[in-house]
């Protein structure tokens, strides 16, 4: 878990099971759930179930109604930026819609972050961007592997943080969830697009050189390529 506090394995399993079921539509909005019944179905204690429900409540998935149990809330109430909800949407029937929304979000924030980073990145952040690109290039023949994913996440997280904009930096976990979900759900090709790797290099170089317009343009290409590749993998 990321946006919610990590609890025990029993709590985490309960949250994962019920959260995914809600997001996947197994419990439609307005459904009333009984905590004791949820605990029994999951093989969890009532205290574990209550703690799990509190986490799901913090994500906007449910509301606890006094003497009326747990009510499933409509999509409009969900914290759609929470990495947990993004991951559950990517693993369910809402995948296509989630992919489209995530691509639209990234196309809006990441080119802007790249442009801002060219003016505000620290020396350490510039070094981290370059280091991540080197690792991506080294592992591009295993792009659906853990090492490439780690480097890709570090690159995009560093870029958002380097923007100097706290609101953009706060979306780092959300963007990371997109990248992780892309690999976990087999939406990442085994071999990276060489152009995509080169464009990451272009962003890092432009940021290091203070060229905001070039950094933003290269990032727009990265996001567009990622969207196209994910849609192709999803439809394969």
Domains of the chain: 9-77 (1.10.10.10), 83-235 (1.20.120.530)
75 Cβ contact list (under 8 Å, min separation 6)? 29
Residue ranges of alpha helices (H) inside the chain are: 9-23, 35-42, 46-58, 83-90, 95-120, 123-138, 146-162, 166-169, 172-184, 194-209, 212-235
| 1 contacts 8 by C-beta, under 8 angstroms | no
Please tell me whether residue 69 adopts helix, strand or coil conformation: strand
Separation CA 174–CA 123 (nearest Å): 25
Q: What is residue 4's predicted lDDT score, i.e. its pLDDT?
A: 45
Give the pLDDT band (50/70/90) at residue 234.
Answer: low
Q: Pick the most confident of 79-83, 93-97, 131-135, 189-193.
A: 131-135
Strands 69-72 and 62-65: antiparallel
| 94 contacts 141 by C-beta, under 8 angstroms | no
| 84 contacts 180 by C-beta, under 8 angstroms | no
Give the pLDDT band (50/70/90) at residue 69.
Answer: confident
Q: How does pLDDT run across 35-54, given as a tens digit for each residue?
A: 888 888 888 888 888 899 99
| pTM of structure | 0.82
Please tell me whether residue 70 adopts helix, strand or coil conformation: strand
Question: What is the pLDDT of the chain when averaged over all its residues?
Answer: 91
Give the pLDDT band (50/70/90) at residue 103.
Answer: confident
Separation CA 25–CA 99 (nearest Å): 17
């Amino acid at each position: 878990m990321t946006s919610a506090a990590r609890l025990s394995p029993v709590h985490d399993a309960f949250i994962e099971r019920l959260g995914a079921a809600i997001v996947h539509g197994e419990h439609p909005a307005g459904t009333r759930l009984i905590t004791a019944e949820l605990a029994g179905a999951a093989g969890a204690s009532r205290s574990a179930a209550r703690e799990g429900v509190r986490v799901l409540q913090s994500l906007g998935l449910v509301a606890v109604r006094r003497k009326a149990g747990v009510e499933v809330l409509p999509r409009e109430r969900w914290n759609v930026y929470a990495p947990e909800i993004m991951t559950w949407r990517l693993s369910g029937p809402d995948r296509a819609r989630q992919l489209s929304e995530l691509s639209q979000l990234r196309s809006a924030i990441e080119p802007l972050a790249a442009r801002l980073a060219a003016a505000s990145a620290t020396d350490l952040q510039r070094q981290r961007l370059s280091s991540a690109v080197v690792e991506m290039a080294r592992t591009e023949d295993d792009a659906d592997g853990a090492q490439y994913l780690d480097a890709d996440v570090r690159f995009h997280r560093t870029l958002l943080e380097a923007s100097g904009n706290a609101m953009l930096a706060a979306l780092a976990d959300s963007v990371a969830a997109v990248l992780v979900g892309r690999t976990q759900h087999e939406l990442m090709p085994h071999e990276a697009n060489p152009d995509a790797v080169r464009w990451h290099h272009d962003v890092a170089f432009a940021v290091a050189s203070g060229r905001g317009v070039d950094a933003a343009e290269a990032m727009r290409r990265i996001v567009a390529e990622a969207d196209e590749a994910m849609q192709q993998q999803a439809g394969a």
